[in-house]
Structure formats: C-alpha cells, structure tokens
Structure 1
Amino acid sequence: MRLLAALLLSLGALCMTTPASAQMYDPRYPVCMHVYGELLGERMDCIFTSLQQCQASIAGNPATCLVNPFYAPRSGRPGRPER
C-alpha cells in the first residue's frame, strides 16, 4: 500500500511540473534584454551588440539589459582551408 501511495504521489508531482523550454539566450549576441510585466509578457531577447543599443530600445518599457552568459564570440583567426 505504501508503494502505491508513493507511486501516486510521484506521478502527481511529475504532472505538476512544466515542460522545459528552449534556450533563451542566443549565443551570437553579447547583450540581452529581459522584458517583464503583464502587458508585454516576460521574455528574453538576445539581439543586441552593445549595452547602449539595448538601453536605447528599452526606454520607457519594463525591461532591463543583461550581459549574455552564453555569448560565444567568433574566433578572430581564420581557420585552415579544407583540402
């Protein structure tokens, strides 16, 4: 009986979880804008190349600019050509 109760409790907890979402941070851009609030919804837009560009976009909106933790700059060195 305890096993059944534990199984049902585990199943209930599993059903209450939300599905995982895709990665919100685009690794091609160094700056993200975190938009929040009921009117605009909550989202992360990683489409900016500088903090100044992001700050100009959020003027008057409930948002903040963040450094993208997943930014992966391209290598400055050209790769070896393939043969």
Structure 2
Amino acid sequence: MRKWSLTLLTLSIALTAGHARAQRYDPAFPVCLYVVSRGMTPYYRCTYMTMDQCRASANGQMCVLNPYYNGAAAGGNKRRQ
C-alpha cells in the first residue's frame, strides 16, 4: 500500500509540474515589450534600448525592464587611459 501511495504521489507531482520554459528575455537589450495577442501565448519582445522606444510602439501593451540585461555590467569595468 505504501509503494502504491508513493507512486501515485510521484505521478501527480509530475503531471502538475508542467513544462520547463526557456529564458524569455534577450540579454542584449535593456527594455522588453510584453506582447499579448489573441489566440497566442504571451511573450516578451526584447528589442528596445530605451523605455520611450518601447512605449512608442507599445499599442496598449506593457513595457518592462529586462532583468537579464547584461550590457551595463559588460561596459562598467572599462578604464580610461
């Protein structure tokens, strides 16, 4: 009985966990547009350098800062000579 209960518990956890998702942000751009279209899965389009650029093409969608943006960290360590 105990083995059956553990099997059932493991199976139910595996079925409710869902699929793992890939990273949804492009780390090359600091601003992303959260796109929600009818009949499609919502996604992030990270192609903007400024929030104003994103807002200009947002059309009622939401602009967000990219939490995976790596451009600021890469350019911060340069020294002037």
Structure 1 vs Structure 2 CA RMSD? 2.0
Question: After TM superposition, what 4+ stretches of structure 1 lie above 4 angstroms from structure 2?
Answer: none
Q: Which runs of no fewer than 5 residues in structure 1 stay unpaired? A: 79-83
2-side partners of 1:21 and 1:68: how far apart?
17
- Taking the aligned partners of 2:62 and 2:49, their CA distance within structure 1 comes to 15
TM-score (norm 2): 0.77
Three-state SS of the structure 1 residue aligned to 2:75 is: coil
CA shift for structure 1 position 42: 0.8
Can you give the 5+ residue segments of structure 2 that lack an aligned partner in the other structure?
none
Query: With structure 1 as the length reference, what TM-score do the two structures score?
Result: 0.75
Residues 57 and 40 of structure 1: CA distance in aligned 2, closer, same or farther (over 3 Å): farther
Residues 1:13 and 1:22: Cα distance change in structure 2 (over 3 Å): same
1:16 counterpart = 2:49: no
Secondary structure of the residue aligned to 1:44 is strand
**% identical equivalent positions:** 33
